[in-house]
Amino acid sequence: MGVDMADEALEPAARVAVDGPRVAGVLGYVAALATYMYFWGLPKQAVEVVGWIWLGTVAWDVRRPVREHLRFLRDWWPPFAVLLVYLYSRGLSDDLGVFSVHVTEPIEAERWLFGGTLPTEYLQAELCGVPCDRSMPPRWYDVVLTTVYYSHFFAALGVAAYLWKRNRPQWVRYMRRYLLIISSAVVCFMVYPMAPPWMASRDGYITEDISRITGRGWFDLSKSTGGTAHQSISAVGNQVAAMPSLHAGLAIFVAWWGISRLRSGWRWLLLLYPLAMSFMLVYYAEHYVIDAIAGGLLVAAAMGACALWEKRRPTPPVVE
């Protein structure tokens, strides 16, 4: 009888079958992504990330009909178009030269807020050294902070992909806010181009001991190992698109969205994400503290505007 019970206990496990097509699809996807990263570097543009998200959904549900995979393209082409415009328009202020680059105002504001000391200068002196240089051996926290930095490129869109699979109406609400945030940021970049701390240091406005050390803890995320197509995409950008900080803003947005919808007490740990992101941005000389604050204010304005618009005009049901 003991043997029979043991056999019955093992029977459910024996019935579990390996999903061969899904395993093959996921392994193929991982191999393709690894190959891409080896030759062209880490995908850092939203349009690239969206493409890889689509391929990931195809790999996960590889047995589904083609028309269901094409549904992703049908649903995502409007946000993809907006992201494409964002990619090529965020550098317009730099190219047009209509507005002069602001350098001294953020420095003065930062010194006023922190009693004459620049937080970037203080953090690099304490955590990196004087002078701080990108080639210096990284510490363990550099590895963590570089990982936080790179998460910016896929965290918000990863949440969007999850919502698209699980809850289409919520995906619509989420993407409305996400696209409003980045579109509003582009307008700010165009009318108020601002030099980040590393550029102000390079040009002699603040101490030369400050260095742009982004990626020091991991590897150089600002360079591609090859591929002219990827290089042309990565070259599109704006070095003075600093106010507000989209890195901080989108981290706040992701945390805000999660905390407002999850019910577990652990959800408050999500606050660590924008805090770590903002700390990293200041320490790595990518942004001033006021840039992160402005990013948070932008998110608050976008969330409020969308909530007000949806209250007056309820979102229509999503057609499956």
pTM: 0.81
Report whether 94 contacts 240 (CB < 8 A): yes
> What is the mean predicted confidence (pLDDT) over 106-111?
92
Nearest partner of 90 among 240, 263, 258, 302, judged by Cα: 240
List pLDDT tens digits, range 272-305.
999 999 999 999 999 999 999 999 999 999 999 9
List pLDDT tens digits, range 132-169.
877 778 888 888 998 899 888 889 999 999 998 888 88
pLDDT at 21: 78
CA distance 267 to 248: 19
CA distance 1 to 4: 5
pLDDT of 54 strictly over 50:
yes
pLDDT at 4: 53
pLDDT at 213: 85
pLDDT at 233: 36
